[in-house]
Amino acid sequence: MTFEYIEIERVTKLTKKEFIKNYYALQKPVVITNQIEDWAAFAKWDFEFLKKIAGDKIVPLYDNRKTDYTKKVNEPDLKMTMSEYIAILEKGPTNLRIFSYNLLEEVPMMKADMKWPDLDIYMLKKLPLVFFGGQDAKVFMHYDLDFPNLFHVQFEGKKQCVLVDPQETKYMYRLPHSWLCHEDIDFDNPDFERFPALKKVKPYITNLQHGEMLYMPEGWWHYMKYLTAGFSLSLRSLAGRPMNLMKGIANVAFIRYYDNWMRKYKGQAWLDYKEKEAMRRTNALLI
Ligand SMILES: O=C(O)CCC(=O)C(=O)O
Ligand SMILES: [Fe+2]
């Protein structure tokens, strides 16, 4: 048994009015297929280009290991140069990923190749983040801690994106003090006996390819699977809903530091407690 998926709607270029009325106001995800055809990056950004322009940059990398209490929230597992990393990606399947890296700050020339979407919402222009992965790499299910409206643009490669509506968060076995699910859940092959509340979840799905932009509304969960090696650029705007904005500020300013502190002082017992609590709280809804 697996999930019953809903295909994410696909549209060609959107006007501001259409975007606000049909997607932003309803907080509904959508793939915009040709929003970036007029960016220089559309034809230019690929692995060859990045090797030339950013090959010597030291990049933070993550693999798929479970959370380790000796590490801080989002602390990388290893580091190497961009050229070395791209050589690994080109060799074959690998779990190694770049997650949330501000490459354009390191290589400001790249900023001239992109445009900020003109969609009538306030974009956080200091935070254009890049994400890379090898074929078969999976990005753990999460939502972004600052509750942004996200515009995720695919460059090299193809990626499967699975999204879950925040209205279903209560069934997602969310770990307390975090924006992650219980880490034993395999979203490709969910164990509905061990995690029965997941039966109530209806994820959205799409495959993203070169030049396509996925709009992810505030607090939407996402699980990504790299079908081929590739990379993307995520542009974010501030949360528009006051409750989300407040939760985002609390996560950025307090919760992640509290979680780091508890990892340091309680060690593995803190991570075990979070998993147990996620099971208890979520399964309690089913009684
Ligand atoms: O595609 C990825 O590697 C992860 C993307 C993501 O989590 C994001 O854009 O917030
Ligand atoms: Fe994310």
Range 89-92, long-range pairs (CB < 8 A, 24+ positions): 89/47, 89/132, 89/133, 89/134, 89/229, 90/47, 90/229, 92/134, 92/135
How many C-beta atoms lie closer than 10 Å to residue 119's C-beta?
Answer: 21
3-state secondary structure 105-118: HHCHHHHHHCCCCC
Tell me the pairing of strands 230-237 and 129-133.
Answer: antiparallel
SS3 at position 247: helix
Cα 2 to ligand 2 centre (Å) = 23
- Ligand 1 neighbour 144 (Cβ under 6 A): yes
234 DSSP β-pair partners: 129, 152
**Cβ atoms 19, 27 nearer than 8 A:** no
Instruction: Report the residue among 228, 232, 233, 237 best suited for mutation to probe ligand 1: largest number of ligand atoms under 8 A from its CB.
Output: 232
Q: What is the pTM of this model?
A: 0.96
Nearest protein Cα to ligand 1, atom 5: 131
Q: Read out DSSP for 164-184?
A: E-GGGGGGTTBPTTSSBB-TT
Residue type, 142: H
Distance separating alpha carbons of residues 228 and 136, to the nearest angstrom:
7
SS3 at position 11: strand
Atom of ligand 1 nearest to the CA of 132: 3
249 by Cβ neighbours in 10 Å (0-12 / 13-18 / 19+) ranks as middle
- Nearest ligand to the CA of 230 is 1
- Ligand 1 neighbour 183 (Cβ under 6 A): no
- Encode the chain (287 residues) as per-residue pLDDT tens digits: 899 999 999 999 899 999 999 999 999 999 999 999 999 999 999 999 999 999 999 999 999 888 888 888 888 889 999 999 999 999 999 999 999 999 999 999 999 999 998 888 999 999 999 999 999 999 999 999 999 999 999 999 999 999 999 999 999 999 999 999 999 999 999 999 999 999 999 999 999 999 999 999 999 999 999 999 999 999 999 999 999 999 999 999 999 999 999 999 999 999 999 999 999 999 999 98
Nearest Cα neighbor of 284 from 186, 215, 197, 169 is 197
Domains of the chain, start order: 6-284 (2.60.120.650)
- Nearest ligand to the CA of 133 is 1
Strand extents, DSSP E, the chain: 6-7, 10-11, 30-32, 58-61, 78-81, 97-101, 129-133, 138-142, 149-154, 159-164, 204-208, 213-216, 221-226, 230-237
Nearest Cα neighbor of 172 from 140, 146, 148, 145 is 140
